[in-house]
């Protein structure tokens, strides 16, 4: 619908350039609105309102007969459009028959790599990982819906000095049996203990570095320990991912690039990009107004950015992506600025047609008092704990609300609703703001929440079930009678989905989609609260209303699916 109106306006203007068309929040400003007159007025030496008036007449002429109910020019120069009920019904019919309503071919199958989740071996997944996982997943879904070929990449944190420290800690205090029983938790305890003891014993830090050097040099004992840690960790992580319903195409992590470290260092030196300084190898980034990037430590060991440079090279060679998105917390902003600067110095980016690298940052999950929850200090909140708590609470509520369900159905609903609440609470917010961890907020199931949207979906589907009319019959309904403001407002809300998905994927913003879905659910609630559907005495109109209910339910489900939120048929 958006594009149809935009085309009419373009035709009226005799232009081919894009025009801005918005859906005003206040219905008194029309169903759609444009500011073209205010933008063009200055260049044409006219008053905005006069131009708006001229254009509104031209738009009315350019539109098909009976398409607009009204086109109005108002101060300071907006042109507002009201669609006729007929135009709305025709569009509704088109949408009802569309297979993947909301998606588009905009991406032309170009490859986008989305790096997200990126768990660290031997560390429990915390709420920070939860954010990158669900934000990354939603962005990957959005880009897929926009017609991109998306590579979902879990870049494992499985290499680095931290493993030297872990190996050192294991050799000092490790308990094999305990680790076998509860791998990640025990390993994390060792890591935390290492940092505690290192505060008192300075030699530990050095010992950790030495163990990593040995690991990197291929020491057999360290290698075996590292492999064991990794295997056990992945086993545990995959259970969590399965619970979340998250899947990845690639699990290649930092260790994959281990053998390339020397070559990268040599390449950078050969190209005179890197130089020796204080015994280490660094890339000076003064021209980018950035501090120097450390490529190789003075003991010869590699660091994070070195592996990320190798990773980038591998991705560019293997996948030929048009974009790479790094869904990583804001705290790593400097790392990515440096990485992107090095890539530009190497000539990998910054030219016509070369790939676009974007750090999709998000705010931190902070503890009480707004301070960082650090793994090293053993203060982070585990993702599993949050999920368990949400699902348990949801199970208690389902038990009270819907006794008719079987125990297995209640479990499934509790899982969907609990996870839906956690996901929605996070995705509805602008990803940049830091979140202060709060159980009450995370577990809020009322108002603008995941369960509200799921509840709306379940009620819509329930109405269709109660009617006894089959969904396949409803998809064949022609719309000729819908005319109340509640019906038409719901239909118009539905039409917005494609634009919302396009904008959300362009800005990597899940809140745009979440906010839209909430408003869609509000429109649906208003419709069925005010309008008899199954009880409508007019049989033909009942079918049309049911068909509208079905389109609304599908639209809601399509959108929620992009956010990774399930929609149970009953809750």
Partner RNA sequence: GCCCCCGUAGCUUAAUGGAUAAAGCAGGACUCUUCUAAGGUCUUGAUGGGGGUUCGAUUCCCUCCGGGGGUACCA
Please select the residue that binds RNA; options are 102, 183, 355, 451, rule is CB under 7 A: 451
Euclidean distance between CA atoms 359 and 136, whole angstroms? 12
Nearer to RNA, 150 or 442 (CB): 442
Question: Between 526 and 545, how does the x/- string for binding to RNA read (CB under 7 A)?
Answer: x-xx-xxxxx----------
HEC string of 549-562 equals: HHHHHHHHHHHHHH
Out of 231, 370, 475, 538, the only residue in the binding site for RNA (CB under 7 A) is 370
Among 24, 147, 378, 480, binds RNA (CB under 7 A): 24
409 lies in the site for RNA, by CB under 7 A: no
- Kindly tell me which of 435 and 501 has the beta carbon lying closer to RNA: 435
Annotate each residue in 279-298 with x if it binds RNA (CB under 7 A) or - if it does not, as one string: xx-x------x-xx-x--xx
- For the chain, the maximum distance between any two Cα atoms, rounded to a whole number of angstroms, is 86
Considering only 209, 322, 358, 484, the residue that binds RNA (CB under 7 A) is 209
Selected range binding RNA among 56-64, 70-78, 133-141, 174-182, rule: CB under 7 A: 70-78
Look up residue 72 and give its DSSP letter. Answer: E
Rounded Cα distance, 284 and 290, in Å: 8
Helix, strand, or coil here: 194? helix
Q: What is the rounded CA–CA span in Å between residue 134 and residue 157?
A: 18
Backbone torsion region of residue 476, taken as left when φ is above 0, otherwise alpha when ψ lies between -120 and 50, otherwise beta: alpha
How many residues lie near RNA (CB under 7 A)? 104
Location of structure tokens 């904008």: 503
Q: Shortest approach of RNA to residue 318 CB, angstroms?
A: 21
Cβ nearer to RNA, comparing 322 with 330: 330
Interacting residues with RNA between 303 and 342 (CB under 7 A): 303-304, 330-335, 337
Minimum distance of RNA from residue 523's CB (angstroms): 9
Q: Which of 175, 320, 507, 540 binds RNA (CB under 7 A)?
A: 507
Answer for which of 324, 435, 552, 557 binds RNA (CB under 7 A) is 435
Closest CA to 516 of 540, 532, 498: 498
Query: Which residue of 102, 136, 157, 559 would you call a contact of RNA, by CB under 7 A?
Result: 157
3-state secondary structure of 157: strand
State which residue, 7 or 20, has the beta carbon closest to RNA.
20
Distance CA 79, CA 69 (A): 13
Strands of 280-283's sheet in order across: 274-277, 280-283, 293-296
Among 28-36, 99-107, 221-229, 264-272, which window interacts with RNA (CB under 7 A)? 28-36
Does position 77 interact with RNA (CB under 7 A)? The reply is: yes
Q: Which residues pair with 325 in a beta bridge?
A: 114, 358
Phi, psi of 109 (to 5 degrees): 60, 15
């Amino acid at each position: 619908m958006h594009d149809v109106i935009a085309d009419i306006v373009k035709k009226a203007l005799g232009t081919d350039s894009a025009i801005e068309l918005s859906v005003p929040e206040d219905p008194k400003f029309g169903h759609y609105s444009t500011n073209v007159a205010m933008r063009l007025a200055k260049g044409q030496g006219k008053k905005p309102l006069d131009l708006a008036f001229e254009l509104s007449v031209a738009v009315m002429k350019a539109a098909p007969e009976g398409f607009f109910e009204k086109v109005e020019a108002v101060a300071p120069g907006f042109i507002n459009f009201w669609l006729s009920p007929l135009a709305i019904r025709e569009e509704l019919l088109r949408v009802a028959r569309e297979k993947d309503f909301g998606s588009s071919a905009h991406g032309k199958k170009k490859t986008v790599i989305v790096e997200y989740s990126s768990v660290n071996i031997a560390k429990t997944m915390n709420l920070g990982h939860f954010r990158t996982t669900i934000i990354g997943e939603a962005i990957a879904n959005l880009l897929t819906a926009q017609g991109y070929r998306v590579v979902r990449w879990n870049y494992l944190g499985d290499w680095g000095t931290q493993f030297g420290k872990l190996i050192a800690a294991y050799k000092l205090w490790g308990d094999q049996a305990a680790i076998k029983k509860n791998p990640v938790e025990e390993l994390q305890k060792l890591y935390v203990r290492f940092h505690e003891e290192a505060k008192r014993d300075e030699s530990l830090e050095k010992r950790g570095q030495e163990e990593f050097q040995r690991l990197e040099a291929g020491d057999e004992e360290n290698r075996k320990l590292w492999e064991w840690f990794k295997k056990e960790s992945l086993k545990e992580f995959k259970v969590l991912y399965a619970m979340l319903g998250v899947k990845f195409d690639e699990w290649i992590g930092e260790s994959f690039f281990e053998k390339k470290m020397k070559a990268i260092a040599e390449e950078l030196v050969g190209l005179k990009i890197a130089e020796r300084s204080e015994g280490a190898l660094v890339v000076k980034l003064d021209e980018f107004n950035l501090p120097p990037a450390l490529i190789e430590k003075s003991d010869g060991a590699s660091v994070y950015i070195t592996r990320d440079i190798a990773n980038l090279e591998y991705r560019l060679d293997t996948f030929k992506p048009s974009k790479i998105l790094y869904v990583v917390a804001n705290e790593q902003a400097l790392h990515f600025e440096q990485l992107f600067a090095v890539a530009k110095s190497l000539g990998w980016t910054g030219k016509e047609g070369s790939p676009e690298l974007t750090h999709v940052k998000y705010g931190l999950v902070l503890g009480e008092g707004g301070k960082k929850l650090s793994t090293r200090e053993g203060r982070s909140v585990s993702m599993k704990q949050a999920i368990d708590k949400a699902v348990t609470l949801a199970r208690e509520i389902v038990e009270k609300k819907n006794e008719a369900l079987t125990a297995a159905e209640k479990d499934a609903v509790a899982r969907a609703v609990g996870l839906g609440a956690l996901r929605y609470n996070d995705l509805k917010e602008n990803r940049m703001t830091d979140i202060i961890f709060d159980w009450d907020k995370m577990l809020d199931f009322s108002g603008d929440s995941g369960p509200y949207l799921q509840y709306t979906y379940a009620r819509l589907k329930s109405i269709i079930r109660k009617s006894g009319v089959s969904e396949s019959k409803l998809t064949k309904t022609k719309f000729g009678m819908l005319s109340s403001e509640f019906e038409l407002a719901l239909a118009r809300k539905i039409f917005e989905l494609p634009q919302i998905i396009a904008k959300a994927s362009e800005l990597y913003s899940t809140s745009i989609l979440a906010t839209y879905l909430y408003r869609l659910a509000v429109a649906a609630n208003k419709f069925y609260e005010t309008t008899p559907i199954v009880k409508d005495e007019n049989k033909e109109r009942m079918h049309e209303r049911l068909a509208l209910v079905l389109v609304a339910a599908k639209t809601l489900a399509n959108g929620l699916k992009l956010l990774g939120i399930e929609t149970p048929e009953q809750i």
